[in-house]
Amino acid sequence: MSGPSPIEWTDATWNTIGGCSIRSAGCGPCYAQQLAGTRLYTHPLYAGTTTRLKGKPVFNGRLTALPFDHPTWTWPLRWRGARAPILGPGRPSLIFVGDMSDLFHEARSLGYAMRVWMTAYRVAGRHILQLLTKRPEVMLDFVRRWQDVEAEDGDIIMANGPLDVRAAHSSGRSGLFADYLDTMGAPPAGAAYPAYDWMEGPRWWPDRPTNVWLGFSAERQPEFNARWPAMRTLAALGFTIFLSYEPAIGPLNLPDDFLALGRRAQVIAGGMSGRDAEPAHPDWFRVLRDQCRGASLPFFFKQWGEWGTDAPFSVDVSARRVYRGEIQTLLMPGSRTIKLAIPTRDDDALGPPLTLVRYGKRIAGRSLDGVEHDEMPEVRA
């Protein structure tokens, strides 16, 4: 559930919640629902969270969470960090929170996000938590509620339990604290809630944990356009922002206000893996690489996926104009299927036209035009 991870852009994953539901086209090849419906289908976090559809497991909207007292909830407090952190020796370790679910699913209590958030403050300086969502509007609502503490300036009112907290305190942060208490369930008779004292704890904490990076998934331009406004607001509030352009299923062009974030942001890009994977056009990644390079914005190329690049080929002018930016299939009897990535420009300024071959993820690798891109955001105090 938690520990070192093979995901290229993080050091470890931390899973205390399970389940999700389809949000957009990029959810189709989701590795999490594939694992939840096959190898992990009997695991307490994932049992019953998928339904078979056309022979494949698909998230059905059932949401789960580990019991409040499960040791995994406190794992980041005990973890000493990666032996070789991605950010470099002596730097904090990166923890991808909930890679098998979405912490900000609209049907999930924000009490779970609250517990993750409070953990971030306690591991500051040692770990950085990476929170990724397809629902940035929920993430923004959470942050706005956390930063709403004006109503707490009055007299101290003691309260114990979610109902009492809601009755005694009207701030957004106190409401989140009450949601957090809800996730704990009823304590044993006569026992106090095993949590921080609201009046001496989270009520006074800073409005932003500097060791939390907030990310959103966008698999092509329409999803980016829909999700960027909420993330733009979060960036304006001072958070480090990252974009997961994976699996890339269409072209994407970054707006100026994203590029202006520079090293306060990151783009992670990658192709599709799995049995039914479709290839990504090399120019989709090249455009983002060049945009990021021009803006000094970190670019991380995670993988090609199942389909990797092979030899360049020539494309005459008429074919360029008719099939510009398309991926054509070249069927050769007796040999493997080859895809032709028709350039998106006439001048090949992005790079040459390339053939695409289904090598498999491991062989296809993560080199883009001969270079591996591993750039990370700056770490701010």
Q: What is the rounded distance in angstroms from the CA atom of residue 113 to the CA atom of residue 138?
A: 11
For residues 85 and 195, which has the higher predicted lDDT (pLDDT)?
85
DSSP string for 290-316: HHHHHHT--EEEEE--SEEEEEE----
For residue 305, pLDDT beyond 90 = yes
CA distance 277 to 279: 7
Please tell me the number of Cα atoms within 13 Å of 173 on its side-chain side. Answer: 20
The confidence band for 195, taking pLDDT boundaries of 50, 70 and 90, is very low
Confidence band, pLDDT 50/70/90 cuts, at residue 189: low
- One-letter amino acid at 223 equals E
- Residue 248 pLDDT exceeds 60: yes
pLDDT at 194 over 60: no
Per-residue pLDDT reduced to its tens digit, 68-114: 889 999 999 999 999 999 999 999 999 999 999 999 999 999 999 99
**Structure tokens, 80:** 């000493």
| Residue 326 or 1, more confident | 326
Mean pLDDT (whole number) for 137-161:
86
Q: What is the mean pLDDT of the chain?
A: 92
Q: How confident is the model at residue 233 (pLDDT cuts 50, 70, 90)?
A: very high
Q: How many helices (H) and strands (E) does the chain have?
A: 11, 16
Domain residue extents for the chain? 2-303, 308-364
pLDDT digits (tens, 9 = 90+) for 12-23: 999 999 999 999
DSSP-assigned beta bridge partners for residue 308: 357
Residue 288 token pair: 């983002």
Most confident of 51-60, 149-158, 224-233, 272-281: 224-233
Tokens of 238: 């001072």
pLDDT of 151: 79
